[in-house]
Structure 1
Amino acid sequence: MQELHDAPLAPLTTFRLGGPATRLITATTDAEVIAAVREADDTGTPLLIIGGGSNLVIGDKGFAGTALRIATTGFALDGTRLELAAGEVWTDAVARTVEAGLAGVECLAGIPGSAGATPIQNVGAYGQEVSSTITEVVAYDRRARETVTLANADCAFSYRHSRFKADPERYVVLRVRFELEDADGLSAPIKYAETARSLGVEPGDRVPLATARETVLKLRSGKGMVLDPEDHDTWSAGSFFTNPILTDEEFTAFHARVAERLGTDVVPPAYPAGEGHTKTSAAWLIDKSGFTKGYGSGPARISTKHTLALTNRGRATTEDLLALAREVVAGVRDAFGITLVNEPVTVGVEL
């Protein structure tokens, strides 16, 4: 294990924001991860787990405790079964599954971060979610002080949520297991309308795996959602807010606010989200509330490519970012009566 003191954390996040940690440990094996977690628990030391850093907003004062960076490696493929170590770079793992001719995660290409974070957030994009292919998650249970294996049904997956996110102080993900599909080199059925249009196919059709991956990467790049150190639109956490899920009553009230503000001919985005619930678009809400692409005059601004991404233009502080986020939340609430919820995890700060 590598150990540093008063260690900068900003370089370990895609926002490139945040102060230092009292102590930073980099673990390269599961045993090292468990040892570091146990030491922190035994001594009552606050513990921050860092993977790819793509979903973290760390306060400018940093973290008073031990930051544990999980840098484990392991990509094991057995037929259609895949096991990834938590520290594996997710987008690289997706590329390798496509090269192996296996379908199931190809539309999750380009998502930054580590494999271990995917079940926590139930990562999803372009019609796919990891919960559809995850079979088991191996984790260290800090409460029971033992390694446990949780089946898919025990992970309580839902939209951008899971058992791990609901109880963040309990589990440390070590390995993630997937069941993929051998469809003779073809993708899983294309579900997302934008992807289907870009591919020139109908929803439900299959396309060559590499074509699906390349199309998604192109779509994400056009929105600043593929990491590029030269492009400040990618100095972000991707989508900063989750898409709101509204009850029927809430959606009716929202629809009335839209008609009042924008006119009765404007139809807001609406997607089924389970019985009695409808999902709408956070990006649409932000844009229609007056926060357009590139909004902002300071060092933290809305992406010039996508209204759902808040970005560091190079000189921002975490407080700059949070001020912008709070402005957006307040504006959307005032305009449409909906309170947006941040997707990234905040450390030492609150929205």
Structure 2
Amino acid sequence: MLDPRIRARLVDAGAAVTESVPLSTLTTLRLGGPAHYLADCNTTETLIEVMRCLDAENVPVLVLAGGSNLVIGDDGFAGVVVKISNSRVDVGGGAVRAEAGAGWDDVVARTVAAGVGGLECLSGIPGSAGATPVQNVGAYGVEVGSVLRRVRLLDRSSGIDEWVGPEALGLGYRTSVLKHSDDAVVLEIELDVRPDGFSAPLGYRELATSLGAEEGERLPTAQVRDQVLALRRSKGMVLDPDDHDTWSAGSFFTNPVVPDDRLPGVLAAITEHVGMDVRIPRYAAVGGTKLSAGWLIERAGFVKGFPGDDAAARLSTKHTLALTNRGSATTADLVALAREVRDGVEDVFGVRLHPEPVTVNCVI
């Protein structure tokens, strides 16, 4: 039970406070039990005051925006879910500035419409602008960290909000110091963009080939955005309420990085299982060699749609790296599927996959 005095303070700060809200309505997986309370904050000022109040009163808090990279347990959250709904976006001066609650693809679309480039390869990614530096979101050869100018953070221990540069975030492959941490809340982000209306140099072979271009070539942003969206739709990676293949958290597992001393053994296991005459997708990475999680999942025997039509949670029929809710799944169903795929890949190839989404009140 939330103290009426605290609830009144949240309302006075501008938050809309409701009770017993099913979190399944706020995540792209459509999974998650109820939040005891939801405080919806549609301005940055309201968000700051709500967070300061709840933290000062030691109230359990779950911060949620787009809900696209989140797996919430069936028991929900026994505290206050703070919904980030601030959404202002400004484009100009060689930069785009977006409040944390702005829809990420809306931000990209605004830059393309404004005739600036640099974000088009990140089209179609669900979720909020504020989540992009937390995850260091990336696709088709571009990561947010490569265009990030600065981030406005609210320090939850001190209550101070300030802008910091990307060097303070410890950005890495699908991670940062903000991920799996409750120390700070993203309020706004600012990104560099290209004023000439052309894309970043194409750095991903599949995208370049589909555009009939060479890697490194630059094309009009709208052309690249349209092709990125087409590729993502073909893989069930653009949200569609009528397509259960998109009821997911996107790519569920990160591509594993195998240390150099373990790589020969892993490659030998792959050769033994798959055969000699096979190209193994691998890329140089910090700490070793990066392998394709989707490729490993398929070669371990997990086909699209696994484990079958009757399963409430199953792999996407378009992309084996997405775990999907077919409409009646529980979080427990999804977790069981994730564990089965993870353990199966490890049993066959000796490579352990790690989930990309953040988990709340559940363990994968």
**For the superposition of Structure 1 and Structure 2, which TM-score range results when normalised by the shorter chain?**
over 0.9
User: Corresponding residue for 1:254?
Assistant: 266
293, 302, 317: which one aligns with 2:315? 302
User: Corresponding residue for 1:137?
Assistant: 151
Counterpart CA distance in 1 for 2:234 and 2:209 is: 15
- State yes or no: 1:243 paired with 2:255: yes
CA contact (8 A) 1:49 1:67 kept: yes
Report the RMSD for the aligned CA atoms in angstroms: 1.0
CA contact (8 A) 2:91 2:114 kept: no
CA-to-aligned-CA distance 1:59-88 (integer Å, 9 cap, x gap): 001000110000002111222111100010
User: Corresponding residue for 2:47?
Assistant: 33
Aligned AA for 2:228?
V
Aligned length in residues: 348
CA contact (8 A) 2:36 2:77 kept: yes
Aligned AA for 1:162?
S
User: Corresponding residue for 2:175?
Assistant: 161
User: Corresponding residue for 2:279?
Assistant: 267
TM superposition shift of 1:263? 1.5
TM superposition shift of 1:252? 1.5
Give secondary structure in 1 for the equivalent of 2:208.
helix
TM superposition shift of 1:233? 0.1
User: Corresponding residue for 1:229?
Assistant: 241
User: Corresponding residue for 1:332?
Assistant: 345
Counterpart CA distance in 2 for 1:10 and 1:228 is: 16
Aligned AA for 2:288?
H
Counterpart CA distance in 1 for 2:143 and 2:163 is: 20
Counterpart CA distance in 2 for 1:85 and 1:307 is: 33
138, 144, 154: which one aligns with 1:124? 138
TM superposition shift of 1:264? 2.0
Counterpart CA distance in 1 for 2:44 and 2:187 is: 6
TM superposition shift of 1:188? 1.1
**What pairs with 1:1-351 in structure 2 (closer than 5 Å)?**
1-165=15-179, 168-182=181-195, 184-274=196-286, 277-297=288-308, 298-351=311-364
Counterpart CA distance in 1 for 2:26 and 2:274 is: 42
CA contact (8 A) 1:122 1:162 kept: yes
Counterpart CA distance in 2 for 1:162 and 1:324 is: 27
Aligned AA for 2:84?
I
TM-score using structure 1 length: 0.97
TM superposition shift of 1:320? 0.4
Counterpart CA distance in 1 for 2:268 and 2:63 is: 43
Aligned AA for 2:73?
G
Give secondary structure in 2 for the equivalent of 1:66.
strand
Counterpart CA distance in 2 for 1:144 and 1:272 is: 40
CA-to-aligned-CA distance 1:24-63 (integer Å, 9 cap, x gap): 0100111211122122212221110111000111100100
State percent identity of aligned pairs: 51
Counterpart CA distance in 1 for 2:351 and 2:88 is: 42
Counterpart CA distance in 2 for 1:36 and 1:66 is: 10
TM-score using structure 2 length: 0.94
Aligned AA for 2:331?
T
Listed as ranges, the gaps of 5+ residues in structure 2 are 1-14
Q: Which moved more, 1:246-255 or 1:6-15?
A: 246-255
Counterpart CA distance in 1 for 2:296 and 2:153 is: 37
Give secondary structure in 2 for the equivalent of 1:287.
helix
CA-to-aligned-CA distance 1:310-346 (integer Å, 9 cap, x gap): 0000000000000100000110000100110000111
Counterpart CA distance in 1 for 2:274 and 2:190 is: 47
Counterpart CA distance in 1 for 2:157 and 2:257 is: 32
Aligned AA for 1:16?
R
CA contact (8 A) 1:258 1:266 kept: no
